Structure 1
C-alpha cells in the first residue's frame, strides 16, 4: 500500500511516499481503509528527533482519520466490516502515553490502510450527517476543544482571551464561545475569519488586554504565560494545552486557577461527544501530495486544518 513515511529522524522534507506492507488486524483491533486523514503538530514533532521516542522505521505518519472497516480482529463486537468510522490515535511507539484505560494507538493514518484498537472512546462510528473530510479533520481538535470547555466553564458575558486562535483547535473552539466576549490572537490577515467564527476582537500575539476572566492558551509554552496571567482578574482562570506542566512559579500569581488540560483517557468525552463540532478546513491534498502537505504545515502560516484525501475524490462525500 502507499503511505507517507519517515525513513529516519528529521524534518518533513525528508518524508516520502512509499510502498509498505498492509497492516493486519489482531485481537481487539480493526483494519480501516483510510478515506481521509488530517495533520497535527505531532506528525512533525514525533519524527523530528526532538524527543527520545523509540520509533521503528519506516515510520508511517498520521493520527486523525475517517474511513471504512475492512477487517475485524477476534473479540471485536462494536464494529463490522463495512462500518464507517472516524477517530484519533497515536503511534504505537507512544502507547505508554496514550492513557492507561483504553489507549488509542495506530499503525499510521497517512496510508491506504491502518490498524486501530477497537475498544477506545477515541474511535467511533461516523454519523451519516458527518461527511468524510470533516470527520477526518475533527478528531484531535474536536476532542481538545471539548475537553477545554468542560473545566473552563466559560460563562455568558465573560471576557475570554484565546491565545493561538488561528490553529485547528482555535478555529474549532471559537464557535463554542459565542456567548462570551472573545479576544483572539492572530495575524491581521486572519481577522475576518476569526471574527466570522465568533471572536469579538482580534489582537496581535503580544497585545494582551487587561480585565480578562478566562485565558485559553493553545500555542505558547506553559512557562511563557506570565504576561497572559497578568491580564486576568483576581479569581480568573488560565487553562493551557501545552507543556511543560504548569507550576505556580511560572506565572507569579496565587489568586488564579492555572491548569493543563490533557484528557488522555477520554474522561471528558470521546468521538461520539464531539461529532457535532465543526472544524475549519483550509486546504486539501491528495496522498501523492502528502509530503508537500506536511512541509506546508511546518513551514507556512496555515489556518485551521489541512486534510489529505487518501482515496479518490468521488468517494469522499459518503
Structure 2
C-alpha cells in the first residue's frame, strides 16, 4: 500500500489570528489538467493574507481547512498536468495566485483566474495559463521575484487609474509598506511630485523610493499639514493604509477633477464624497499579459528597488505572519523555503 508523499507547509486549522498557524506535514498537491506544480523557493507575505485568515472575506472566500496561506511566489516547475504547453519541468517561474476558494476574487486578479493551493509551503499548484504567472528572468533572484507581483501589479493599477502626469502633486498615505515600495518609484519615474506619509524613522527610506516630501503622520495632522503646503491643489491622494472611514478629511486636499485612489480594506464608499468634484475609486492589481515581465524589467533596471524589509525561513514562517500583524516593517516580508 503506497503512502502519499508529504511536504512542510504553514497551515491554518480555522479562522483566527496568525498565532493559530502551525508548521505541519501535509500531502504534496498534484497538478491536474491545465496546472503546474512548483517547488517554492520563496513566498512574500501580504496583509490580505491576514484578512483572509481572520475571516474578513469569509463570504467571498469561504476557506476549507486545513488551509495553506500564501499568494506571491517564485520557484521551479517540477511537474505539469495534461494539456500544459506554456511551462515545462525545470522552468523558473514567479507570480501570484489566490486560494482556490477565492475564484470570484481571482477573476479580478487575472483572466483566466490565477489560483493556488497556497505558497507558504514546499510545493504549490497553479493554473498554467494565467497572466499572473511568468518566467523568472536570469539575474532576478527568487526572493526578489517573490516580493514583486502583488505590490507591482497594484502599483501599475494605481498609475493606470490615476493617469497622473509629470508635475502632478500626489499624496501617498502609508508609503512604508510593500505597495509603497513600488508606487513611489513608479510615480517618481513618471515625474510626479510625491508627498508621502511616514514616521521620522522611515523618512529616509521613502525619500530613497522617490518621495519629494515626507509628512510625519505621528507628529502632525496629515490633512492640516498638507493643506498648509498645498491648499486644495493636489491632483490625487493614494491611500495604501487607512480604513475608508478615516479618509473623510482628505478630499479637501484634492483639486476639482482629481482622484482619491484606495487599496486598503475596508474601502471608502464613493457616495460619501458625492458632494466633491473628484473621482473616488478602489483599485485592484489585475494582471494583464506582459505586466510581470515589465515589472521584472523595472526591477533589473533598478527602477524598482529591492523592497524586502525582513526575511524568514519556512521553519519560522508562523513568526513571520505574526510579525506582519504585530510589528512595524518596511517593504515586504519574505519567507524562503529552506531545504
* TM-score, reference length from structure 2: 0.87
Q: Find runs of 4+ consecutive structure 1 residues off by over 6 angstroms.
A: none
> Whole-Å Cα distance in 2 between the matches of residues 143 and 299 of structure 1?
25
Q: Which moved more, 1:144-153 or 1:273-282?
A: 273-282
**Is 2:201 the counterpart of 1:189?**
yes
1:174 to 164, 184, 203: 184
> Counterpart of 1:154 in 2: which secondary structure?
coil
1:245–1:14 Cα change, 3 Å: closer
> Counterpart of 2:27 in 1: which secondary structure?
coil
CA RMSD, aligned part only?
Answer: 1.7
State the partner residue of 2:33.
27
**Is 2:90 the counterpart of 1:63?**
no
State the partner residue of 1:225.
247
1:78–1:301 Cα change, 3 Å: same
After TM superposition, give the deviation of residue 221 of structure 1 in Å: 2.3
**Is 2:164 the counterpart of 1:154?**
yes
After TM superposition, give the deviation of residue 34 of structure 1 in Å: 0.2
> Counterpart of 1:234 in 2: which secondary structure?
strand
Question: Deviation string for 1:209-228 (max 9, x for gaps)?
Answer: 13211111112223432211
Q: Which moved more, 1:251-260 or 1:157-166?
A: 251-260
State the partner residue of 2:93.
85
State the partner residue of 2:338.
311
1:12–1:44 contact (8 Å) kept in structure 2: yes
2:264 to 242, 247, 250: 242
State the partner residue of 2:327.
300
> Whole-Å Cα distance in 1 between the matches of residues 76 and 13 of structure 2?
28
2:243–2:268 contact (8 Å) kept in structure 1: no
Q: Which moved more, 1:233-242 or 1:62-71?
A: 233-242
State the partner residue of 1:8.
14
> Whole-Å Cα distance in 1 between the matches of residues 291 and 187 of structure 2?
20
> Whole-Å Cα distance in 2 between the matches of residues 173 and 131 of structure 1?
21
2:247–2:268 contact (8 Å) kept in structure 1: no
Question: Deviation string for 1:94-128 (max 9, x for gaps)?
Answer: 11221173000100001000000001010000011
State the partner residue of 1:98.
106
**Is 2:43 the counterpart of 1:37?**
yes
**Is 2:83 the counterpart of 1:75?**
yes
Question: Deviation string for 1:200-242 (max 9, x for gaps)?
Answer: 1111334121321111111222343221111011221211123
Provide structure 2 residue ranges, at least 5 long, that are not aligned to the other structure.
1-6, 228-232
> Whole-Å Cα distance in 2 between the matches of residues 247 and 58 of structure 1?
34
State the partner residue of 1:120.
130
State the partner residue of 1:316.
none
> Aligned residues, how many?
311
Provide structure 1 residue ranges, at least 5 long, that are not aligned to the other structure.
313-318
State the partner residue of 1:315.
none
> Whole-Å Cα distance in 2 between the matches of residues 263 and 286 of structure 1?
27
